[in-house]
Amino acid sequence: MFTKILIANRGEIACRVIKTARKMGIATVAVYSDADRDALHVELADESVFIGAPPSRESYLVMDKIIAACKQTGAQAVHPGYGFLSENETFARRVEEEGIVFIGPKHASIAAMGDKIASKKLAGAAKVNTIPGYNAAIDTPAQAVEIAKGVGYPVMIKASAGGGGKGLRVAYNDKETFEGFTACRNEARNSFGDDRVFIEKFVEEPRHIEIQVLGDAHGNCVYLHERECSIQRRHQKVIEEAPSPFLDEATRKAMGEQAVALAKAVNYQSAGTVEFVVGKDKSFYFLEMNTRLQVEHPVTECITGLDLVEQMIRVAAGEKLAFTQAQIPRKGWAMECRINAEDPFRGFLPSTGRLVRYQPPAQTMVASMPMPENGGVRVDTGVEEGGEIPMYYDSMIAKLIVHGVDRNDAIAKMREALNAFVIRGISSNIPFQSALLAHPKFISGDFNTGFIAEQYPKGFSASAVVHQQPAFMLALAVAAHRRRLGRAAGLSGQMPGHEYEIDEHFVIEVIDAEGRRQHTPVSVLAEGRTFTVKFAEASLVVTLNGSLRDIAVHGDVGGKPFCAQIERVGLKYRVTHDGTALEAHVMSPRAAELNRLMPFKAPPDMSRFLLSPMPGLLVDVAVQAGQAVSAGERLAVIEAMKMENILLATQDCVVAAVKASRGESLAVDQVILEFR
């Protein structure tokens, strides 16, 4: 076994590998860029080596620097994590040539699976299901019909040079194939100057389901069941779970056996993932193989009880797998939510900056440690409170993982954990995750890869989520206010006869974006930490635990436990629960009466300005003062989290002034241009 390994990565996955190495008694070496000098993975590792400037192409992607760090520290092996160099065949080969062990598959296996065309040919040779189709150009409509019959309806007729939805038809019968072929050829010729058309099987209501495999250097290979990864936004996974609510035992076994057959065909020696697209009829077809550890590996660890990082290290050290296929359990249900630094209410734009508050929910499971009997909550992260989310890398803050006895238990645990996850200073996608978990179709397991696009066609907004119990949200606000007044009344040193007295009657004011006021009169009776909140037609009994400074408040309502976030913002209380937020002003009836007379201050009109929609680096300003621009014309480019975001003019206008310069780091809503 190795005595020291280097982790050629950063953030969450570097911290995850360090935990397992520490358990195994292996010393660890971290590498870091300028942006990560104070990062958690550097703090946790036994040693650390500086490897360059913040952009990954100057640090984490420079093979020579990683190899030099291994030699400098005497690391015998390197774990690549995921992303960066993890699936780089050249890096794996160079590491091996330098006498360092690559904790992952052999470079030949990476190369074989990295080529999409070659990998599908290999899959076909290994008798793995691939999407049926005819990939040569088709000459006539009649030939197209014969091919479609052979493939089996429905089929997809696609222009070879297609894109943007042009030259694409789905056909369910001979007539639609005949007509669709001609239409596709014409569209392709007119749009792309290339009329070649091919046909492949159309997978209806597709799901993305992947099989975790594990192979050693002694010819042993097993599958560790499946992960359901169909909840995706723009092809990026959002929620993953294991097992899949869709598969039956026969399909699960068939997919697992085919994944193992493919892994054996390339002599696969490590943890890897074979991805399939699965149709509504449970037909399944090979997509690709990821020759690395997946982001979502914790859900597999939960249901099997195996530490996948440990297995990778043991296999790399030459050990045999210590179990057979029949000995791999499948216990309970696990889910993972990716907590990202992005603003779901601004089109999921990146959000960088300092974590002013970072308080994850209480953890009862820890990566690399044995699974608790009744499951629980685990947080894999690479950040801590006060840390910085830099603009140079991906947007992941943490992975929130839960394990329950069944799917409903896992959903309930996840919703509660999301309610308790406090992140301030930057925006996160927690409200969106909460909304997804509350969606009836998700709860029933009735979804596919198009779920998010279908359910939120105009994007995600606060109005897209309505709390099931609005009175509960109001009750929390008024109970929190009454609790704060109770502390004020109990302060010592008050003048005798003039002590602070609390009336039991209040009015809760909520103002919408247009300035419309909603007033709800309530009365509150307090007994210690328990508050009976009486509305006109109902009452709720709320108990609040913890201290007044806690943002994540645990308690119970009507005898049922809950966790919500309550904080005082100016004179108001902001209450957040199950993905919805409420700002309420709690006051006396007389104050509410006077407050009605106050004019509503509308937000200033900022239509004359181009504002930065996110924090980021201004890499280009494409216009200058005095220039007339047309709607749709490029104005500026902002780089954040490995993505370039192009800002376009929404209407014809003239640039009055340029307020920010190229190379400047922008804050959210900072003015870039002024128009006239």
Structural contact between residues 655 and 629, judged by C-beta atoms closer than 8 angstroms? yes
Give the CA distances from residue 318 to residues 26, 109, 311, 314, in Å, rounded to whole numbers and listed in that order: 16, 17, 11, 7
Task: Please report, to the nearest 10 degrees, the dihedral formed by the alpha carbons of residues 258, 263, 265, 268 taken in order.
Answer: -170
Give the CA distances from residue 377 to residues 23, 84, 363, 578, in Å, rounded to whole numbers and listed in that order: 20, 28, 5, 17
Sheet containing 396-404, strands listed edge to edge, beginning at the edge strand earlier in sequence:
284-290, 271-278, 207-215, 221-233, 236-242, 333-340, 396-404, 376-381
Return the closest-CA partner of residue 533 out of 500, 504, 573.
504
For residue 360, whether the previous peptide bond is cis, meaning omega lies within 30 degrees of 0, is: no
Phi, psi of 361 (to 5 degrees): -65, 160
Query: How many angstroms from the chain centroid is the CA of residue 226?
Result: 19
Sheet containing 155-163, strands listed edge to edge, beginning at the edge strand earlier in sequence:
133-134, 197-201, 155-163, 166-171
Task: Please report, to the nearest 10 degrees, the dihedral formed by the alpha carbons of residues 200, 207, 279, 150 taken in order.
Answer: 10
Alpha-carbon distance 175 to 153, whole Å?
12
Return the closest-CA partner of residue 358 out of 383, 340, 385.
385
Strand 27-33 and strand 47-52: the pairing is parallel
Structural contact between residues 286 and 130, judged by C-beta atoms closer than 8 angstroms? yes
Encode 554-578: b = buried (16+ Cβ within 10 Å), e = exposed: bbebeeeebbbbbbeeeebbbbbbb
Which positions are catalytic?
A: 288
